[in-house]
Amino acid sequence: MTPLTEGQHKAEFIVTEAEGTLSRDTITVLAGQNLKAGHVLGKVTVGTASAAAVSGNTGNGTITDVSAGATAKPGIYTVTCVEPAANAGTFLVEDPDGVTVGTAFVGAAFAGPVNFKLNDGSVDFVSGDRFLVTVAAGSGKYKEYNPANTDGSETAVALLLDNTDATAADTTAVGIVRQAEVNAAELVWFTGATTNQQAVALAQLKILSIVARPAV
C-alpha cells in the first residue's frame, strides 16, 4: 500500500487571532511561486533603480551599473561632488530623507542602499555637480521571505493563510498580517532557512504582533 503524506491545511498554524477579520488582509501573491499555508512572507516594497546627471553639471562623466541595494528605500538619492580633482572626485551620497549614507569616488564602485559607479569624462567634475538615483516603489505584492532578497521581501511581514499556487500568474490570497498567535512548528520557510534566519524573521513578525509560540 502506498503511504500518503498529509499536506498543510488552511489556517492550521493559527493558535489565536483577533475577532472578525482584523488579523487578516487580502494580498496578492507574486507570480512564479507555489506556497503553502503558514508560509512566511515578505512584501515587495522596492522596485528598480535608475540614475541620471543633473542638468547643468560642468563635468561630463557618467554614472553606470545602477541598482537598488539591500537597504534601499523608494525615492531619490542625491550624489553630489564635494571634492573635485583632476580625473577624479569625491561625492557625498544622501538618501531620500537627506541622510548621508556614504561616500563615492570616481572610478570605483559604490555599494550601499543604492549601487553604482561614477566614471570620469573628458571634462572634470566640479563641486556641486550631481547625479540623481531614483529607486521606484515596489509592487506591494507578497513573496516568500528570504533575507537574501533586496526588494523588501528580506523582511518578514505576513503568513499565508492557505495553500496558494501562483506558478502561472499573480494570485489573490489571504495573509495573517497582525495580531495573532501561531504555532512556530507549523510555519513554512524558504529552502535552507537557518535557525538564526528564522529567529530574525520571527522577531520581525513580533513587531506586527504576530507571535510564534513553540509547539506544546
Query: For the segment 169-185, what is each residue's pLDDT rounded down to a tens digit?
Result: 999 999 999 999 999 99
Q: Provide the whole-model pTM.
A: 0.81
Fold of the 14-45+139-213 domain = Virus Head Decoration Protein; Chain: A, (2.40.300)
Could you give the percent of the chain with pLDDT greater than 90?
A: 93
pLDDT in tens, 28-50: 999 999 999 999 999 999 999 99
- Whole-angstrom distance, CA of residue 195 vs CA of residue 22: 30
Residue-range domain boundaries for the chain: 14-45+139-213, 47-137
pLDDT in tens, 118-150: 999 999 999 999 999 999 999 999 999 999 998
Q: Cell 572626485 appears where? A: 89
pLDDT of residue 9: 83
Q: Sheet of 75-85: strands edge to edge?
A: 46-53, 130-137, 75-85, 88-94, 100-105
- Whether residue 29 contacts residue 164, with contact meaning beta carbons closer than 8 Å, is answered with yes
pLDDT in tens, 80-109: 999 999 999 999 999 999 999 999 999 999
- Whether residue 67 contacts residue 114, with contact meaning beta carbons closer than 8 Å, is answered with yes
